[in-house]
Structure 1
């Protein structure tokens, strides 16, 4: 790959030098210089370039149509799993439609005028310094369109960021570090205790301040479980560098910044089980497993272990390049019914219990296990046997 990149760079440098040489020759325009005269475009050259512009326009349209038909399934523009996700998807569809429409019109006009106004000997370009009507049109229309998009996006953003204090929500802390995630739930008091990186020790992996009463009933977890239909306030922290908590299926993302707490709110709307049963997801899983099956056959033929079948799960990813193992920084997310979530939540030990158990285990005296050497056992058996023989002789 590196060799290919070097070859491409060398080729581009060669082309650049060649073009610079041609430009230098053109600047040395001296009367009677045949080499300079040969570089002047003729009507035939201009006609060819004009038709080539139209040909390139057709190529752009054909490539666009092919890409939409072949690769236009847009996996992150459907099947959102949060209440605000539908608004995000609608906003993306509107933006794509506007971009496609404007791109189609502008590209056509650009290439048409390049063809219609190609150079001719007897034709002179018409020039005017300004046109208030045109300036008004291409200023007002973008302002109206962009204002509509911004307002739509602002309402969606407010739905994600604003949390009413009277709402029934649960608080979850997502703690980022190279290269993984730790989860801390607010306990029965529904208040996350204070935390600081200086308090990280043993089981207290998120650095909760155990002197804060609100920290005692917090719950630590190795996977993120959420109840469907319940608003969740995510509070983000980072232990080391800048990370970004990205929930693609929930259409949510927030930077995790060292030294500060960021947050957003969302309401999961589809359980993991329900999403797995959707036809589009089932087809996608089937395609992935077909590829994995073919790859597994190759691995087994080499004597290696086969790949496990893929099962759909929501995921939490890091969307900032945070180091060498950034690609592996992900966590499984489970969305389930509120009854299932409450059952799981009730079975978890609180952070206070975990810290107490860890402290008790550290203070417990070590029990030494004494095992008699095998040699001593054999010697004991020999002594017993000898005594029995001697006693028999005396008799």
Structure 2
């Protein structure tokens, strides 16, 4: 590849020198510095220039097609979500329309110097305006572009619409230089509130979980991987702690900035599990990943997170195996209001928790 680029660059340089030389000769002739006895020199220069332009265009087309086919293996991988495949489809439709227009226009541009080069026996026609041509090359591109814009807008609105009510809600937070994930617990399946003023790395509450909200009691976190269910809508609630980050899941065609102080979101459906992709690619080591696509500092390159797409029943089983944040950090029970402490103590394995559970059961019976 490098050798071919070098040869093309050298060829371009040689052609540039030849064109400049011929241009200088013609300028001297026009200024009267050099007398021209007949038109043979001008005809010869025009012939070579026109032929050179056409050869250059043919080689360019060959190079463009070859480079596209050679680089195709490095394009984005096959999409593993419905919206991703639809996005890819309309992207390639747009590229096809643009490419066809590009080749038609440039082929004509390079053909005309060859077809209409100087001929002493032919006079130029004065052709200042044609209403029909003006309408054609204005209306047709306008209609094509309008079609692309409105179909793209329709897809965009559907992708960015509100997530379905049954979507699995997961929070992902970026910080230099790692991702952290918070899930709603299996008891209420709702994420609790957070408050940035409650973030305390020393104490372990890097999410700033607000324990005055009872929905927080069964939430659990994970900083090494994210699990999502196959075939079910997943709503990512995205935020950042320090600088601008960006959640990027290539196979899902998910990309959304994580902005400090401005929560964002993105929902999608993963319809191929990790095992499905391993079988499809015949690669037992395949894994989905989440990467950061906003340069966020010196270790930006290493800001990745393993993404595991489970079958629905496997995902639910995995969730039940996870321990709530409160169970792993019982000291935060002190942050719970007194009237909610009994509920919070269910997730803390202490004698006080057992007493609280018995008390609540008695209250329910009464």
TM-score (normalised: structure 1): 0.69
SS of residue paired to 1:327: helix
In structure 1, C-alpha distance between the alignment counterparts of 2:24 and 2:161, rounded to whole Å? 61
SS of residue paired to 1:85: helix
Give the superposition deviation at 1:335: 0.3
* 1:7 alignment partner in structure 2: none
- Is this contact kept in 2: 1:227–1:336, CA < 8 A? yes
Distance change >3 Å, CA 326–CA 342, structure 1 → 2: same
* 2:241 alignment partner in structure 1: 239
After TM superposition, the structure 1 = structure 2 runs for residues 32-47 of structure 1, keeping only pairs within 5 Å, are 33=33, 42-47=42-47
* 1:219 alignment partner in structure 2: 220
In structure 2, C-alpha distance between the alignment counterparts of 1:164 and 1:30, rounded to whole Å? 71
SS of residue paired to 1:59: helix
Give the superposition deviation at 1:26: 10
Give the superposition deviation at 1:45: 1.4
Give the superposition deviation at 1:210: 2.6
In structure 1, C-alpha distance between the alignment counterparts of 2:157 and 2:176, rounded to whole Å? 31
**Residue 168 (structure 1) aligned to one of 157, 166, 169:** 166
The count of residues paired between Structure 1 and Structure 2 equals 315
SS of residue paired to 1:72: helix
* 2:192 alignment partner in structure 1: 193
Q: CA deviation digits over 1:69-122, x for unaligned, max 9?
A: 4333464363x2112122112112212222222222122111111322334556
Compute the RMSD of aligned alpha carbons. Answer: 3.6
Give the superposition deviation at 1:220: 0.7
Q: Which piece of structure 1 moves more, 214-223 or 114-123?
A: 114-123
SS of residue paired to 1:84: helix
* 1:56 alignment partner in structure 2: 56
* 1:181 alignment partner in structure 2: 179
* 1:270 alignment partner in structure 2: 272
In structure 2, C-alpha distance between the alignment counterparts of 1:63 and 1:53, rounded to whole Å? 15
Give the superposition deviation at 1:351: 2.4
After TM superposition, the structure 1 = structure 2 runs for residues 224-303 of structure 1, keeping only pairs within 5 Å, are 224-278=226-280, 281-282=281-282, 285=283
Distance change >3 Å, CA 76–CA 127, structure 1 → 2: farther
In structure 2, C-alpha distance between the alignment counterparts of 1:119 and 1:179, rounded to whole Å? 64
Gaps of 5+ in 1: 1-15, 36-40, 286-309, 361-395
Q: Which piece of structure 1 moves more, 136-145 or 174-183?
A: 136-145
In structure 2, C-alpha distance between the alignment counterparts of 1:236 and 1:49, rounded to whole Å? 58
- Is this contact kept in 2: 1:77–1:92, CA < 8 A? no
In structure 1, C-alpha distance between the alignment counterparts of 2:82 and 2:152, rounded to whole Å? 15
Give the superposition deviation at 1:339: 1.1
Distance change >3 Å, CA 131–CA 180, structure 1 → 2: farther
Distance change >3 Å, CA 60–CA 208, structure 1 → 2: same
Give the superposition deviation at 1:344: 1.1
Gaps of 5+ in 2: 1-15, 36-40, 335-366
SS of residue paired to 1:151: helix
* 1:317 alignment partner in structure 2: 291
In structure 1, C-alpha distance between the alignment counterparts of 2:192 and 2:123, rounded to whole Å? 76
In structure 2, C-alpha distance between the alignment counterparts of 1:62 and 1:107, rounded to whole Å? 14
- Is this contact kept in 2: 1:193–1:213, CA < 8 A? yes
In structure 2, C-alpha distance between the alignment counterparts of 1:109 and 1:62, rounded to whole Å? 17
The higher radius of gyration belongs to 1
